[in-house]
Structure 1
Amino acid sequence: MTNNLANRLRAKLHHSAESMGNLLVEVFHYLALFAIGAMTVWAGTLAAIDMFAKGAASIDDILLLFIYLELGAMVGIYFKTNHMPVRFLIYVAITALTRLMISDISHHNAPDMGVLYVSGAILLLAIAILVVRFASARFSGVTVIEKSQLEQIQAESHEGTER
Structure 2
Amino acid sequence: MKWADSGRKRMHDGANSLGNLMVEGFHYFGLFAIGAATAWASVMAFMGMVDKGQASIDDILLLFIYLELGAMVGIYFKTNHLPIRFLLYIAITALTRYLIGDVSHHRPPDAGLLYLCGGIFLLSLSVLAVRVASNKFPSSKVLDATGDVVGEGDK
For the residues of structure 2 that align with 1:70 and 1:30, how far apart are their CA atoms? 19
Instruction: Please name the residue that 2:147 is paired with.
Output: none
Q: Calculate percent identity across the aligned residue pairs.
A: 59
Q: What one-letter code is carried by the residue in structure 2 that aligns with 1:136?
A: S
Task: Determine the structure 1 residue equivalent to 2:14.
Answer: 16
Greater C-alpha Rg: 1
Cα distance in 1 between the residues matched to 2:18 and 2:124: 42
Displaced runs of 4+ in structure 1, greater than 6 A? none
CA-to-partner distance for each residue in 1:58-113, whole Å, 9 max, x for gaps? 00000000000000000000000000000000000000000010111111332221
Q: Which runs of 5+ in 1 are unaligned?
A: 147-163
Residues of 2 paired with 1:79 and 1:91: CA distance?
19
Partner-residue secondary structure (3-state), 1:126: helix
Instruction: Tell me which protein shows more helix as a share of its residues.
Output: 1
- Count, aligned residues: 144
Does the 8 Å CA contact 2:140/2:152 hold for their aligned counterparts?
no
Matches within 5 A, 1:11-160: 11-143=9-141, 144-145=151-152
List gaps (5 residues or longer) in structure 2. Answer: 142-150
DSSP 3-state at the match of 1:108: coil
| Contact 2:75–2:81 (8 Å) recurs in 1 | yes
Counterpart in 2 of 1:155?
none
- Give the Cα–Cα distance (whole angstroms) in 2 for the partners of residues 145 and 129 of structure 1: 26
Give the Cα separation in 1 of the matches to 2:78 and 2:152.
Answer: 22
TM-score for the superposition, normalised by structure 2: 0.90
Alignment-derived partner of residue 150 in structure 1: none
Deviation at 1:141, TM superposition (A): 1.1
